[in-house]
A and B are shown apart, each in its own frame.
Chain A
C-alpha cells in the first residue's frame, strides 16, 4: 500500500526556520517526484514546489511566491523528502501536504497520493 507519512505539527516564531518531512513507503520512492502543497486556514490549495526523481536530476522548482525562502530536498536512502522554510511569516501558517506526482509533464501529471498533512503555525 502506497503511503506518505508526514512529521507532526509545529509552532514556530516569526523569522525562525523549520523543516518538515514526508516519508514514503509501499512504492519505489526514488522513481517519483514529490510535491508540497499548502492550505491556509479556510482557504484553497496552493502549490509550493517539487523535487524531481534522480532520473531527472533531482532538481527542484518552486512557485514564484515561494522562491528564496522555501527549499525542498530528498534522501532516497531514507525514502524521505524535506521542506525547509526560512524567515517564517505569519502568512506561512497552513497545513502542508506532501504528494506523489505521477507522470513527468503537463500532459500526464497527477498528484495521486497525499500525506496526512502537517500543521505549521507561525506565531509569536
Chain B
C-alpha cells in the first residue's frame, strides 16, 4: 500500500527539540530518498530537507533529517515561534511511478 504516515500534530516549547516521523514501505522510503517540506500558514510549501538529510542553502542547521529502513524523521532543535507550520515528508513511490506525500504534521510552538 502506497501511503506515507505522519502524526497529525506535534508541539513543543521554545528552545525544545521535537521530532516528526514519517512511516512508509519498501516501494517508497526504503527504495528512494526522502524530502521534507515546510508550509507556513497561507504560503506555498518550501523545500526544507532533500536527499534524506541535506539542507538547501539558507535552511538553518537546527533542521535535520534522517532515514532508516521504511521510516524517516525530521528533527527541529532550538524550537522558535517562526517554526510553527505544517511539515510534509515526501518520497518517490515505485509502485505509483510518482511522488507520494505524507499527510502532514502540524507543529505548534507553545
Contacts and interface: CB of A to CB of B under 8 A. Distances in A.
Interface of A: 35, 37, 44-47, 49-50, 61-64, 97, 99, 102, 105-117
Contact of A45 (B45, B47, B56, B91): B45
B100 interface: yes
A106 B104 contact: no
A97 B33 CA distance: 22
Given A47-B101, A112-B47, A107 B32 contact: yes
B92 A105 contact: yes
18 contacts: A35-B99, A37-B45, A44-B103, A45-B37, A45-B45, A45-B88, A45-B90, A47-B99, A50-B98, A61-B98, A102-B50, A106-B32, A106-B33, A106-B94, A109-B92, A110-B35, A110-B50, A117-B44
A97 B39 CA distance: 12
A97 B86 CA distance: 16
B24 interface: no
Contacts of B51: 108, 110
B68 interface: no
A62 B7 CA distance: 27
Given A97-B44, A109-B33, A114-B44, A44 B104 contact: yes
Interface of B: 31-33, 35, 37, 39, 44-47, 50-51, 56, 86, 88, 90-94, 96-104
B46 A109 contact: no
A97 B45 contact: yes
Contacts of B103: 44
A106 B45 contact: no
Which of A102, A106, A115 lies at the interface centre, i.e. has the most chain B CB atoms within 10 A of its CB?
A: A106
Contacts of A115: 44
Nearest to B91: A106
A99 B88 CA distance: 15
Given A44-B103, A115-B44, 11 more contacts: A35-B99, A44-B86, A61-B98, A102-B50, A106-B32, A106-B33, A107-B32, A109-B92, A110-B50, A110-B51, A116-B44
Contacts of A37: 45, 101
